[in-house]
């Protein structure tokens, strides 16, 4: 029994050294500063591509910022130009919307002559004789006559390419 107890006590203690075959790999002994330097260099080598990429991205962001600023400046210039164009368009509309003032006295004279003579309608040649102008001048006034509320332009019954100037009937209410 004593042999069994001694054998079990010996199993809890330090085991006898087994024969370990010698290693063929060389064994390195490093100090903590050497190990720290090796780890630092490994980390720097791993981080360097990331740092380069970050710098490249920062340069790209700065470049994009410059482009955006340039485009905003261009957009402001275009908005100013568009405002100027709209003002010019409005000025042109206002200037062309005004009816020619030179034609009005001639149309007034034609109206008075037709009423005085008692003519309800006439052709352009007769109208030219009434106001002592040429027929071509009266034909130039064709659009002004058409816009005047006192006259109506109607096609001639005797000739398909001619128009007649007719006085508009006055309506009494």
Note if the pTM is more than 0.85: no
Check residue 118 and give left, alpha or beta (phi > 0: left; psi -120 to 50: alpha): left
List, in sequence order, every residue forming a beta bridge with 167; answer none if it has no partner: 151
Domain co-membership, 115 together with 93: no
Helix/strand/coil for 123: strand
Domain co-membership, 117 together with 139: yes
Q: Which domain holds residue 146?
A: 103-167
Say whether pLDDT at 12 is over 60.
Answer: no
pLDDT at 67: 93
pLDDT at 59: 93
In a domain, 124, yes or no: yes
pLDDT at 160: 82
Domain co-membership, 74 together with 111: no
Provide the number of structural domains found in the chain.
2
Q: What is the pLDDT of residues 24-70, one digit of tens each?
A: 777 778 888 988 998 999 998 888 888 989 999 999 999 999 999 99
Contact between 126 and 133 under an 8 Å Cβ cutoff? The reply is: no
Alpha carbons 118 and 109: distance in angstroms, whole number: 14
Domain co-membership, 140 together with 159: yes
Over residues 3-19, mean pLDDT: 58
Give the total residue count for the chain: 173
pLDDT at 100: 47
Q: What is the pLDDT of residues 100-149, one digit of tens each?
A: 455 688 899 999 999 999 999 999 999 999 999 999 999 999 989 988 88
Q: What is the pLDDT of residues 71-107, one digit of tens each?
A: 999 999 999 999 999 999 998 888 776 554 556 888 9
């Amino acid at each position: 029994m004593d042999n069994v107890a001694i054998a079990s006590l010996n199993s809890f203690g330090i085991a006898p050294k087994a024969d370990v075959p010698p290693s063929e790999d060389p064994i390195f002994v490093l100090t903590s500063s050497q190990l720290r330097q090796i780890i630092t260099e490994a980390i720097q080598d791993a981080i360097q591509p990331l740092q380069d990429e970050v710098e490249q991205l920062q340069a790209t962001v700065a470049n994009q910022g410059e482009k955006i600023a340039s485009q905003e400046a261009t957009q402001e210039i275009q908005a100013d130009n568009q405002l100027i164009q709209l003002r010019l368009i409005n000025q042109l509309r206002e200037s062309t919307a005004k009816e020619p003032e030179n034609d009005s006295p001639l149309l007034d004279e034609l109206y008075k002559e037709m009423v005085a003579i008692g003519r309800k309608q006439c052709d352009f040649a007769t109208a030219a004789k009434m106001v002592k102008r040429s027929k071509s001048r009266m034909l130039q006034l064709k659009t002004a006559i058409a816009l005047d509320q006192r006259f109506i332009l109607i096609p001639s019954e005797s000739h398909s390419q001619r128009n007649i100037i007719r006085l508009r009937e006055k309506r009494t209410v």
